[in-house]
Amino acid sequence: MHDINELIDNVRHNEEIARKFFEIERCILSIGRCDQFVSTLTKEVQKQFNVPYVWVNLINEAPLSHLIESLEKMPDLRDRVLFTRRRSMIDIIKSSNKTILVNTNLSRCWEIIPAVYRDIISSVAISPLTIDGELVGLFCQADSDSTRYDATTKDTFLLDQLAIKISICLSNVTAREKLEYLATRDPLTGLLNRRQLELMLDREFARSKMQERDLTVVFIDCDAFKSINDTLGHNCGDEVLEYIAKRLLKYVHKQGLAFRFAGDEFVFVMPGKSYEQAILIAESIQEYLQSNPLRYKSNLVPITISYGGASVMSDMPSNYKHLLKVADERLYDYKNNRKRLVPTKVFKFLNRLR
């Protein structure tokens, strides 16, 4: 009788575990956004299995690199998602496609553990996540109890099954987000495209009028860009555009949004900021580019830019298209007034190469 009761208890215990796994699956299967997926997954595992610390570690390269910008901006995910080099993950799990349990020498895993947990946890379960057979991340569960994930006493079968299901869901979510990303981004620079600029300005212009707050746009373009392309080739021209875009993102990403408008023209938009504040940003970008030429092969390619801005409060435009038009006109006024001055440095450099 004792054996039968023990068997019944084991069956009930396994049924309860299966129910919890089913509940986790049910919660994550229909999610279409990666931020919601990570948040729901980690919270649900914490809830169902009483795991104190749960996070997802994703590679910071293709095919998931497009997720970095959106996920890192989510305060709710600050300790629930990390981006790490694939190589660092492989160094920890080696060639294993199974969950590994670690409860000694955790310092070797620190690169994949959120900094706030490093002095708290004493054991961790690390499950590989794959897409099309390639490692793309790790699903991690940890506890301050060193016996919770002890390789000498614990079986990883159920954790491996969970990791497989997470991988399938992650593949679906990232594929959908990749399509959305490609539809909204310039493929070369990764900046938002012109269509997104118009949608954003239409919305922000109405908000600016309603709330009586400023809205500023600034056009930027690269001086002598055609000559750079003609002399050094289109590969160099592409690197110039990427170089400008990276600097643009660095200066405006906390205060506004940056867009590639067309060709060598960029736009950044700053809701709630004045014309003077936005122009200071443009000047800072200009000064940086003048002081830091692009290294291309054996050359240091000088880059200069022109810019022009407009704002709702100072220019009183009738709509967002009028706002863009004023900024564009000021860009070309600025460029024409200095055409014989600043680009001379670029032209002298290119003439030496001809």
pTM of the model: 0.70
* Predicted local confidence at residue 33, as pLDDT: 87
Domains of the chain: 2-184 (3.30.450.40), 194-353 (3.30.70.270)
Rounded Cα distance between 118 and 111, Å, is: 10
Rounded Cα distance between 261 and 248, Å, is: 13
Q: Where are the alpha helices (DSSP H) in 50-122?
A: 68-72, 86-93
Residue 336 phi, psi (nearest 5): -65, -35
Please check whether residue 302 is in contact with residue 349, taking contact to mean a CB–CB distance below 8 angstroms: yes
Residue with tokens 């920890």: 92
Q: Which of 134, 135, 142 is nearest to 101 (CA)?
A: 142
Per-residue pLDDT tens digits of the chain, which is 354 residues long: 457 766 666 667 678 777 888 888 888 888 888 889 999 999 999 999 999 999 999 998 878 887 887 787 788 888 899 999 999 999 999 878 899 999 999 999 999 999 999 999 999 999 999 998 899 999 999 999 999 999 888 889 889 999 999 999 999 998 888 888 889 999 899 999 999 999 999 999 999 999 999 999 999 999 989 888 888 899 999 999 999 999 999 999 888 999 999 999 999 999 999 999 999 999 999 999 999 999 988 888 999 999 999 999 999 999 999 999 999 999 999 988 866 555 556 656 656 655
Q: Where are the alpha helices (DSSP H) in the chain?
A: 2-29, 34-49, 68-72, 86-93, 157-184, 194-211, 225-232, 234-252, 275-291, 312-315, 320-337, 344-353
